[in-house]
Structure 1
Amino acid sequence: MNYISPSYYFDFESDVIQKLISEFKNERFSNKEKAIGMYLKVRDNWRYDPYTISLAKESFRASVIAQKSTGNCVEKSILLIACLRALGLPARLHLGKVKNHIAVERLTEKYGSNELTPHGMLNVYLNNKWLKLSPAFNKSLCEKFKVAPLDFDGENNSFLQQFNSEGNLFMEYTADYGHFEDVPLEFMKKNIKEHYPHIFNTGEDIIEFRL
């Protein structure tokens, strides 16, 4: 498997991605410091938005996502993967299904469920091991819902906010679809249409909407 090269989706040779990583293209940063720095940059500089979905192929290109101000979990993971690969760090997409337990009224109303799928995170290879991390929830959003933001120390997994600060269940993984070398768009389309047929029932491959 090749987890370091560019692709149509992880187009890190583009000017916008090169600009995004420019501060970390410096030998004074260790690989661990580069990974942590890029994680925090992507986590907090793109506001999490689960209510905008596009199945258009170009919507999942890192260079396209980088030019937006928001992103869902898959989009933010793709962006971070591209940045990590651009810095020479092996990274790959990891997908699953999650259930939210806080602030789910709007999700349930629009999706017919408090489960989100596919939920995106990523794996990065540091110090001879693969680590799971999720840059989805920006710090300001976490503060709003009284959940500690997910930090990443470059040594341990950082992908699950199980409880909020009051001890209430916040999020749980209900399925793990595994990791992927590149963005599995056809798998993602099939998964979305199977879980949300009332939204994606037109038979079109490219559907965009804002809830």
Structure 2
Amino acid sequence: MEEFTAATYFFDYEHPEIQEFLQPYKALTPKAQLQQLYLRIRDGWRYNPFKIGITKDHYQASTILSNAEGHCIDKAIVLITCYRALAIPARLRLAKVSNHIATEHLERILGTNELAPHGVVEVFYSGKWVKCVPAFNRELCAKYQVDVLDFDGSEDAVIQEYNRNNEQFMSYLEDYGSYQDVPFERMMDIFRANYPEIYEKNQGNTEVNFFL
């Protein structure tokens, strides 16, 4: 299990800014660390699915930490990095999802409501792997009438399938598996396979910004 608590280029928890960020959580119990860091990442970064990094540097936790918003994978990487720094085994899982609410902009750009890759955090706690998704901050959930997700390690906390009006919100379409480290090349392959024209158009850029 040591490989899931190790620092890497992407999970760079030895960086001074990450160590400073973790100070308030170091004396807590593991369960409290799971809960409070999840909430901090969930609500501390505005979820933005319209910007996707296409360079390795973008996906370093210390780089993401300096931003005010993040893609689901960005937020997952920061949470995994924090958990690993506190000796809680964690890894990244990738999937394809579909978004059923407020998709006009994405569909105009992508021609689909499908998003890939989507990032999920997996944590080994109390003898089992459990999943959580810190993507959707409280304000976004309120806007779309979706219950916020909480997480304490006892059970999975994955994307909300329906909102409070019983309208379909999100659904999982495909599972790309779990990874010990951030699989940058695999992520780019998934992005290119799903959006080939957009990928080719943005070669040489540092990120894809769907608002441009």
Q: How high is the TM-score relative to the length of structure 1?
A: 0.96
- Tell whether the 8 Å contact from 2:202 to 2:208 is kept in structure 1 after alignment: no
Match of 2:133?
134
| Residues 1:82 and 2:81 are matched in the alignment | yes
Q: Shift in Å at residue 205 of structure 1?
A: 6.4
Q: Any residues of structure 2 matched to 1:39-188 within 5 Å, and which?
A: 39-188=38-187
Q: Provide the aligned length of Structure 1 versus Structure 2.
A: 209
Alignment CA distance shift 1:205-1:9 (3 Å)? farther
What are the Cα deviations for residues 101-124 of structure 1, in whole angstroms up to 9, with x where unaligned? 111111111221100000001101
Relative to its length, the structure with more helix (as a share) is 2
Query: Residues 33 and 154 of structure 1 are in contact (CA less than 8 Å); yes or no, is this contact kept in structure 2?
Result: no
Distance 2:204 2:14 in 1: 27
Partner deviation per Cα, 1:115-158 (whole Å, 9 max, x = no partner)? 00000011011111110000000000110011011111320000
Tell me which amino acid in the other structure corresponds to 2:25. Answer: F
Aligned sequence identity (%): 41
Kindly indicate whether the alpha-carbon contact (under 8 Å) linking 1:112 and 1:196 is maintained by their aligned counterparts in 2. Answer: no
Distance 1:73 1:95 in 2: 10
CA distance in 2, matches of 1:122, 1:208: 22
Q: Deviations over 1:31-67 (max 9, x none)?
A: 1110111000000000000111121110000000000
- 1:56 and 1:205 in contact (8 A); partners too: no
Quote how far apart the aligned CAs of 1:206 are. Answer: 4.9
SS in structure 1 of the partner of residue 188 of structure 2: helix
SS in 2 for 1:174: strand
Q: Would you say the 8 A contact 1:200–1:207 is kept in 2?
A: no
1:202: how far off? 4.0
Give the letter aligned to residue 6 of structure 1.
A
The 3-state SS of whatever aligns with 1:120 is strand
Aligned partners of 2:54 and 2:208 also within 8 Å: no
TM-score, length of structure 2 as denominator length: 0.95
- Distance in 1 between residues matched to 2:208 and 2:176, nearest whole Å: 25
**Kept after mapping to 2: 8 A contact 1:93/1:183:** yes
Deviations 1:62-90 (A, max 9, x none): 00000000000000000000000011100
State the secondary structure of the residue aligned to 1:200.
helix
Tell me the distance in 2 between the aligned counterparts of 1:177 and 1:48: 22
How far apart are the structure 2 equivalents of 1:23 and 1:203? 40
Shift in alpha-carbon separation, 1:138–1:96, aligned structure 2, 3 A: same
The root-mean-square deviation of aligned C-alpha atoms, in Å, is: 1.3
**Per-residue Cα deviation, 1:138-189 (whole angstroms, up to 9, x for no partner):** 0001100110111113200001201000011111000011110000011111
